[in-house]
Chains A and B, each alone.
Chain A
Amino acid sequence: AQTVTQSQPEMSVQEAETVTLSCTYDTSESNYYLFWYKQPPSRQMILVIRQEAYKQQNATENRFSVNFQKAAKSFSLKISDSQLGDTAMYFCAFMLPDGGATNKLIFGTGTLLAVQP
């Protein structure tokens, strides 16, 4: 069975600084997807970034980037130039593609990030 672990329940960062959120996972599969979702106080779950396990290059989306270490089963999220709007719960998630259109996300427990002015 696959598991996702986020060991930092809460984190705080000053505006304009950089913060890294940790995520580790466990699987015996070689082909899978990893995601970071952001859930601000409005509660909508927003996709931040996606990584395919077969790609060695780390995904980036503007100020968000990941450090994907497949051998170590680690998938951390780096947020550069933190903004007040980045305050949210961040969930790391794992998915095994099933070849069809139904895919189950396995979520970590989340990291609550507070950006301080």
Chain B
Amino acid sequence: DTEVTQTPKHLVMGMTNKKSLKCEQHMGHRAMYWYKQKAKKPPELMFVYSYEKLSINESVPSRFSPECPNSSLLNLHLHALQPEDSALYLCASSHEDSTIYFGEGSWLTVV
């Protein structure tokens, strides 16, 4: 079973709102990732958690705040976003064999 579950599938939020994207995996993977993807572009890495610790932050603005409550869960807290932050946000996880598995994504629209 190679399933990464993301909620919500779609989110519309105003620029003053606070919302969160959630991701869950039960494959025992020790690394979890957030990617941002704009239309017709490849995904861009935002954050990596390894063994529940933030290991990579690709210079992401502070209005995006990741959280890893445990080894199965990954959240992305959103606050004061801009319209240009509208995109597909993909969560992913990987095991030591290096293969990265993606969730279905959360479509975010900032109005």
Contact assessment for B42 and A107 in the assembled complex, using a CB-CB cutoff below 8 Å: yes
Does B96 interact with chain A (Cβ within 8 Å)? yes
Contact assessment for A91 and B96 in the assembled complex, using a CB-CB cutoff below 8 Å: no
Contact assessment for B102 and A50 in the assembled complex, using a CB-CB cutoff below 8 Å: no
Interface size class of A (residues with CB under 8 A): 20 to 34
Chain A residues near B55 (CB-CB < 8 A): 102
Contact assessment for A47 and B99 in the assembled complex, using a CB-CB cutoff below 8 Å: yes
Complex Cα spacing A101 to B51, Å: 8
Chain B residues near A42 (CB-CB < 8 A): 104
Contact assessment for A95 and B90 in the assembled complex, using a CB-CB cutoff below 8 Å: no
Contact assessment for B51 and A47 in the assembled complex, using a CB-CB cutoff below 8 Å: no
Does B56 interact with chain A (Cβ within 8 Å)? yes
Chain A residues near B99 (CB-CB < 8 A): 33, 35, 47, 50
Chain A residues near B48 (CB-CB < 8 A): 102, 104
Chain A residues near B96 (CB-CB < 8 A): 100-101
Contact assessment for B42 and A95 in the assembled complex, using a CB-CB cutoff below 8 Å: no
* A44-B104, A102-B48, A102-B55 known; A33-B98 Cβ under 8 A: yes
Chain B residues near A110 (CB-CB < 8 A): 40-42
- Nearest neighbor of B101 in chain A, beta-carbon distance: A47
Does B74 interact with chain A (Cβ within 8 Å)? no
Which chain A residues in 23-42 approach chain B with CB under 8 Å?
33, 35, 37, 42
Contact assessment for B29 and A101 in the assembled complex, using a CB-CB cutoff below 8 Å: yes
